[in-house]
């Protein structure tokens, strides 16, 4: 039984991988130079693809930001004739106006292959029944996983987002073995399993969960694994780099292999833009190596992670990144302290009494900025009374204060009381700007 989707590429010795990357980088630059945006940028800097003699010359190339993509919307980065382009996707617009990415036939083929490889690494196999529980349409998780799972040879159910009862019906009707969904939704879906009295281990054939598209902590993953009784594998990607299939956990679950034959990854200090030492957290910067219609060079993802040092026992040579701890633009400053939502989640997930949903509200009270954290009680724990929970509330407050160095107001709320979003969970509501308007 093969244990890799593409053994030669996935286990390529690092020196060979570097040569391979350099070749593809040069080709990528040649293509990129054909777009109005990169054509002008490279000309201004006097750089031609031939100037890139080794991978260390990468830093001669400018970085690309989300603002560049927005400013040159829609066609500024397109480097192939429009009539060879066959698909476009937009990012979800979590942090502002969306951006557009174009693909030609080669690009879609390459992407599907990367997703198939990723699913295979997590243990999915041809013959699995793959239920894709996420928004289709412009969001890349839908079609990205659809084509990838088909490429793998799985019976692929394009279930779409929401409608939990129907999701469970599909699972039991067709014997779903692998599910892809965002983590915040899986916690909610599990409630419907309970309501319907469907026992996952008895009534379904589920064996693998794939979770991604939004930041989540190791604690959140463990909770999901406990609820479903199967392993949950972290899937990382972003529209600008195709979507899913950029970095994925293998069966070792010890970091996400970033597919280095298709991307060059750098991790830099977001202030100085200089590389950080190996193992240190910084901003992930990526260059596409196998995209023709719209190559992107040194894209600042704004996602924070680190390279996991050492080799993976699975034998894949592609480096691993750690789970994303947040986005540089997720961070908020309150009372002079920098806080990431995942720091709060990490503490919350340590309390079995609380559920999976929480909301951080930043507001100005009597001229002072305050952090209010609304936390849902776990339905398994909630008795209908809030008063006996005062002690719990205080403990949560103290632990969060010790982690983020600001004392929050913690408010426990009933299960299901917080607003739910169809797509990615909204963890922070910043009302500070609106007050006094």
Contact predicate 292/80, CB 8 Å: yes
Contact predicate 60/51, CB 8 Å: yes
315 vs 379 by CB, closer to Zn ion: 315
Is residue 301 involved in binding ligand ADP (CB under 6 A)?
Answer: yes
- Other CB atoms within a 10 A radius of the CB of residue 274 amount to 9
Shortest distance (Å) from residue 160 CB to ligand ADP = 16
Is residue 182 involved in binding Zn ion (CB under 5 A)?
Answer: no
Tell the burial category of 70 from Cβ atoms under 10 Å away from its Cβ (0-12, 13-18, 19+): middle
6 vs 343 by CB, closer to Zn ion: 6
The window from 87-95, 159-167, 251-259, 366-374 that contacts Zn ion (CB under 5 A) reads 251-259
d(CA 79, CA 30): 10
Percentages (nearest 5) of helix, strand, coil residues in the chain: 35, 25, 40
Shortest distance (Å) from residue 262 CB to ligand ADP = 16
264 vs 377 by CB, closer to ligand ADP: 264
Is residue 305 involved in binding ligand ADP (CB under 6 A)?
Answer: no
Among 40, 252, 280, 405, binds Zn ion (CB under 5 A): 252
Is residue 135 involved in binding ligand ADP (CB under 6 A)?
Answer: no
Shortest distance (Å) from residue 284 CB to ligand ADP = 8
Contact predicate 371/431, CB 8 Å: no
CA distances in angstroms from 436 to 329, 333, 368, listed in the order given:
24, 20, 13
DSSP 79-116: -S-GGGEEEEEE---TTSS--EEEEEHHHHHHHHHHHH
Shortest distance (Å) from residue 278 CB to Zn ion = 17
Closest CA to 133 of 170, 180, 95: 180
d(CA 385, CA 204): 35
Shortest distance (Å) from residue 265 CB to ligand ADP = 13
Q: How many residues bind ligand ADP (CB under 6 A)?
A: 19
- Other CB atoms within a 10 A radius of the CB of residue 229 amount to 12
**Binding-site partner at residue 250 among ligand ADP, Zn ion, none, CB < 5 to 8 Å by type:** Zn ion
122 vs 377 by CB, closer to ligand ADP: 122
Is residue 186 involved in binding ligand ADP (CB under 6 A)?
Answer: no
Among 241, 314, 334, 410, binds Zn ion (CB under 5 A): 314
148 vs 212 by CB, closer to ligand ADP: 212
Helix (H) or strand (E) holding 174: helix 164-174
Q: Residues 221-260: x/- map of binding to ligand ADP (CB under 6 A)?
A: -------------xxxxxx---------------------
Helix residue ranges per DSSP H, 328-389: 341-348
160: left (phi over 0), alpha (psi -120 to 50) or beta: left
Shortest distance (Å) from residue 431 CB to Zn ion = 43
**Binding-site partner at residue 235 among Zn ion, ligand ADP, none, CB < 5 to 8 Å by type:** ligand ADP
Closest CA to 24 of 242, 259, 237: 259
**Binding-site partner at residue 382 among Zn ion, ligand ADP, none, CB < 5 to 8 Å by type:** none
Among 11, 65, 92, 364, binds ligand ADP (CB under 6 A): 92
Which residues here bind ligand ADP, judged by CB under 6 A?
Answer: 91-95, 212-215, 234-239, 301, 303, 324, 327
Which residues here bind Zn ion, judged by CB under 5 A?
Answer: 250, 252, 312, 314, 316
């Amino acid at each position: 039984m093969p244990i890799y989707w593409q053994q030669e590429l996935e286990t390529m010795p690092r020196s060979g991988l570097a040569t391979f990357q350099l070749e593809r980088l040069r080709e990528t630059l040649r293509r990129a130079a054909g777009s109005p945006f990169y054509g002008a940028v490279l000309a201004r800097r006097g750089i031609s693809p031939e100037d890139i003699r080794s991978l260390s010359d990468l830093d001669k190339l400018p970085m690309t930001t989300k603002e560049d993509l927005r400013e040159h919307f829609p066609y500024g980065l397109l480097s192939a004739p429009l009539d060879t382009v066959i698909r476009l996707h937009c990012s979800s617009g979590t942090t502002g106006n969306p951006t557009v990415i174009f693909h030609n036939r080669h690009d879609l083929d390459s992407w599907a292959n990367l997703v198939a490889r990723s699913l295979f690494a997590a243990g999915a196999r041809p013959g699995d029944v793959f239920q894709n529980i996420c928004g289709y349409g412009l969001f890349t998780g839908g079609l990205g996983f659809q084509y990838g799972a088909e490429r793998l040879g799985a019976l692929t159910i394009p279930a779409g987002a929401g409608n939990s009862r129907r999701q469970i019906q599909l699972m039991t009707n067709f014997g779903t073995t692998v599910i892809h969904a965002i983590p915040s939704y899986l916690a909610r879906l599990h409630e419907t399993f309970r309501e319907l009295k469907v026992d996952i281990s008895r009534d379904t054939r589920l064996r693998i969960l794939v979770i991604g598209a939004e930041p989540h902590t190791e604690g959140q993953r463990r909770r999901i694994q406990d609820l479903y009784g199967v392993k949950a594998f972290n899937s990382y990607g972003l529209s600008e780099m195709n979507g899913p299939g950029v970095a994925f956990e293998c069966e070792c679950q010890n970091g996400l292999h970033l597919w280095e034959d298709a991307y060059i990854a750098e991790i830099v200090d977001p202030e100085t833009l200089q590389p950080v030492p190996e193992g240190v957290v910084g901003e992930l910067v990526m260059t596409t190596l196998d995209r023709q219609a719209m190559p992107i060079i040194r894209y600042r993802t704004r996602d924070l992670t680190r390279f996991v040092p050492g080799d993976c026992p699975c034998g894949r040579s592609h480096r691993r990144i750690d789970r994303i701890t947040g986005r540089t633009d997720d961070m908020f400053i309150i009372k002079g302290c920098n806080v990431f939502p995942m720091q709060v989640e990490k503490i919350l997930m340590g309390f079995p009494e609380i559920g999976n949903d929480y909301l951080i509200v930043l507001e100005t009270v009597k001229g002072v900025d305050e952090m209010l954290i609304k936390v849902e009680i776990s339905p398994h724990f909630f008795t209908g009374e809030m008063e006996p929970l005062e002690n719990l509330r205080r403990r949560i407050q103290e632990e969060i204060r010790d982690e983020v160095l600001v004392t929050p107001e913690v408010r426990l709320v009933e299960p299901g009381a917080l607003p739910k979003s169809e797509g990615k969970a909204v963890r922070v509501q910043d009302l500070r700007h609106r007050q006094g308007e």
